[in-house]
Amino acid sequence: MRTVELTDHIHTRWSSRIKSYSELIKLRLSAFVTLSAAFGYILGDRGVNFGWAGFVGLVLGGFLISGASCAANEIMERDLDKLMKRTQNRPLPLQTISVKEAYWFTSIVAIIGVMLLWVFTNPLTTGLGVLSMILYVFVYTPMKRVGPIAVFVGAIPGALPPLLGWTAATGTITYEALIIFGIQFIWQFPHFWAIAWVSDEDYKAAGFKLLPSGGAKDLNTAIQIMIYTLFLLPLGLLPSYFGLTGMTSGIVATVCGVLFLAQTFSLMRDCSRKSALKIMFGSFLYLPIVQIAYLLDKLP
Q: Strand, helix or coil at 22? A: helix
User: Distance from first CA to last CA of the chain, Å, rounded?
Assistant: 63
CB 154 within 8 A of CB 140: yes
- Looking at residue 2, its pLDDT comes to 59
Estimate to the nearest angstrom the gap between the alpha carbon of 65 and the chain centroid. Answer: 12
In terms of CATH, what superfamily is 1-173?
UbiA prenyltransferase (1.10.357.140)
Domain ranges in the chain are: 1-173, 175-300
Determine the residue type at 141. Answer: T
- The helix-helix angle for 149-170 and 52-76 (nearest 10°) equals 160
- Looking at residue 214, its pLDDT comes to 83
CB 93 within 8 A of CB 12: no
Dist CA 187 CA 231 (whole Å): 9
Nearest to 214 by CA among 226, 200, 227, 228: 200
pTM of the model: 0.93
Dist CA 66 CA 165 (whole Å): 14
**Positions in the chain short of pLDDT 50:** none
DSSP lists the bridge partners of residue 298 as 245
Mind giving me the DSSP string for 240-289?
HHTTSB-HHHHHHHHHHHHHHHHHHHHHHHH--HHHHHHHHHHHHHHHHH
Q: Which residues of 237-276 are buried (b: 16+ CB within 10 A; e: fewer)?
A: bbbbeeebbbeebbebbbebbeebbebbebbeeebeeebb
Tens of pLDDT, residues 231-264: 999 999 999 999 999 999 999 999 999 999 999 9
CB 193 within 8 A of CB 221: yes
- Looking at residue 76, its pLDDT comes to 96
- The helix-helix angle for 149-170 and 175-198 (nearest 10°) equals 140
